[in-house]
Structure 1
């Protein structure tokens, strides 16, 4: 397999397991898929976070496709980089699914402000507040190493930027409004994406 086809295969696995299977499992357990979609009015920061995330996913698919048909070339190349990318991407997939399962019935894609879910603080959530997003960024970095071209770099930067926006502008205000002091104490002691970093003072 060429690096672009490996990248596309891993991305397909990520979508099937991390979104498809997890949504079906959520529906089986709760009656809902967990999808809440893009929130906020058109043009708002909340809306930009959701649309930007979709655009980042689109670039993640376009980058290896464009390299496969010869429109773009990798900026760096070598079997070692590809192998490292595969290991990192697979780690990201496994970590994403693990964190999703740890979230249990509270797992959602997007936010419904009319909903109240349990604040998960155990397991990996005792170390990091947003382990699913952390794992997704790990996966994105792995795919970038497999096909390191300009569209992939732009997509990776956009992914990180929109995840930051989603967490800071949408998810944290929602959790603060729903859980109040419990979330204040939790976010003051547990890092946003990495342990002990991004603490809310």
Structure 2
């Protein structure tokens, strides 16, 4: 039962944060906001996004499937832990969609290096630079707690690795290059994934500017 619920919540997340958000973007702007196909295959950005996608599927589909095939959980399936997982998954999905909507017309999936979107620093972005990623990780952690086997846990770790790579190695350097001093000031006040944690000091900003890359990112670089 819990495995089926995990798959249902995962599909719900894909429909809400993927399909629904894309339809809203198209309705409001005439553009879907999808730029994934423009990411060069084999680039660092492509690698990070692909790793993240594999992580998503491994948690949301692989974990429940492994459970149905008889893979034992890493620990006893205590109902309170599974209930916590359901709560985290629901909160994470709603928070991710809310943060996506807060990006307005700047929301993108992937990147087009020919366009320049506005830097969003309001709403949840006032305190956290990557609230969508944070919310997605919370949702996937909830799904992992619902079906806590090694497959789901591996998927969550892959997602963390992919997101960390995307943010630190791809998006932040490029956003420094695109937005300059306003972004440097923003990174000094807003945390990377959690409020107050991961803020960049002057020396960090200088380092990012010197290593800026033109690989994938757009606006605030959120999926």
Compute the TM-score of the two structures, normalised by the length of structure 2: 0.85
CA contact (8 A) 1:100 1:107 kept: yes
CA contact (8 A) 2:127 2:189 kept: no
CA contact (8 A) 1:141 1:156 kept: yes
Residue 138 of structure 1 and its aligned partner are, at CA, apart by: 0.4
The residue that corresponds to 1:174 in the other structure is 174
CA contact (8 A) 1:188 1:200 kept: yes
CA contact (8 A) 1:113 1:174 kept: no
The residue that corresponds to 1:13 in the other structure is 12
User: What is the total number of aligned residue pairs between the two structures?
Assistant: 199
Q: Which runs of 5+ in 2 are unaligned?
A: 202-223
Residue 39 of structure 1 and its aligned partner are, at CA, apart by: 6.2
The residue that corresponds to 2:190 in the other structure is 190
CA contact (8 A) 1:95 1:135 kept: yes
CA contact (8 A) 1:53 1:159 kept: yes
Distance 2:141 2:37 in 1: 24
Secondary structure at 2:157's aligned position in 1?
helix
Matches within 5 A, 1:113-192: 113-192=113-192
Residue 38 of structure 1 and its aligned partner are, at CA, apart by: 6.1
CA RMSD of aligned residues (A): 1.3
The residue that corresponds to 1:200 in the other structure is 200
The residue that corresponds to 2:30 in the other structure is 31
Higher mean C-alpha deviation, range 46-55 or range 30-39: 30-39
Matches within 5 A, 1:68-83: 68-70=68-70, 72-76=71-75, 77-83=77-83
The ranges of structure 1 where at least 4 consecutive aligned residues each deviate by more than 3 angstroms after the TM superposition are: 38-44
Distance 2:28 2:38 in 1: 24
Residue 63 of structure 1 and its aligned partner are, at CA, apart by: 1.1
Residue 143 of structure 1 and its aligned partner are, at CA, apart by: 0.4
The residue that corresponds to 2:90 in the other structure is 90
The Cα offsets for residues 168-189 of structure 1, whole Å up to 9 and x where unpaired, read as 1221122112111110110111
Q: Which runs of 5+ in 1 are unaligned?
A: none
CA contact (8 A) 1:38 1:51 kept: no
